[in-house]
Amino acid sequence: MVFFAGTGLVVKLVLILLIYFSVVSWAIIFYKLLQVYRANKESERFLEFFWKTKRFDTISTQLDRFPNSPLSLMFNEGYTELKKLMEPGEPQIDDPTVISTDVGGIDNISRALRRATTSEITRLEKYTTFLATTGSTAPFIGLFGTVWGIMTAFKGIGETGSASLAVVAPGIAEALIATAIGLVAAIPAVMGYNHFQNKIRVVVAQMDNFSTELLNIVQRSFGRK
């Protein structure tokens, strides 16, 4: 607070902006940690339930147990489309039967799964761009504050006519605090962004594998022979 009070208006604005970036970045990091953790855990539970149950109608009635799982949403979208494609008069969707080809057949289910995948990727990546922006811009914003503060310090030296360490050091120290705050904001943001991108790639791979498996099951069990 002593450094903040002693800085000029421009450096104060820079520090306020960097503190805002830092606070929001940490809020996003904690939120995404919880979101990605829930997505991974519930997806693991859903996969176990899916392969254990094997009946689409039974699985569909239990989807509310996995509200944060991307795979449960994909299954729901695919199953909903599958029910639309079943030919009239088929009483049991889990019995071997045929899919109507009038409206696109298996391609409609594939498109539904791709839409669900895109929707989940968008949801998981939401707010991560702020972390990337903070990581790339905060050091430069801090550097701008430092340069401005040093300019102000040298201007003060010119006005006082003294270049002693006692005169120069306080101004330089106040200026360098902007760079320090910029790094404090940027480093966690970059680490958080890289961490979440890696985790999201794992979830995306899991969704792609599940989509392929689900389509294979549909083709084997319901496809027209």
Among the listed residues 103, 81, 121, the one whose alpha carbon sits nearest the alpha carbon of residue 215: 81
Q: Is the dihedral of CA 177, 182, 184, 185 positive or negative?
A: positive
Angle of the 106-125 helix axis to the 9-53 helix axis, nearest 10: 140
Domain, as residue range, for 73: 2-222
Q: Using one digit for the tens of pLDDT, what is the confidence trace for 15-35?
A: 899 999 999 999 999 999 999
Domain count for the chain: 1
Is residue 8 pLDDT above 60, yes or no? Answer: yes
Over the stretch 145-199, which tens digit does the pLDDT of each residue have?
888 878 777 776 676 666 666 656 666 777 788 889 999 999 999 999 999 999 9
Cβ count within 10 A of residue 138: 25
| Sequence-ordered list of residues with C-beta below 8 angstroms from that of 146, at least 6 positions apart, any chain | 175, 176, 178, 179
The pTM assigned to this predicted structure is: 0.80
Nearest to 189 by CA among 44, 3, 78, 24: 24
SS (H, E, C) 119-140: HHHHHHHCCHHHHHHHHHHHHH
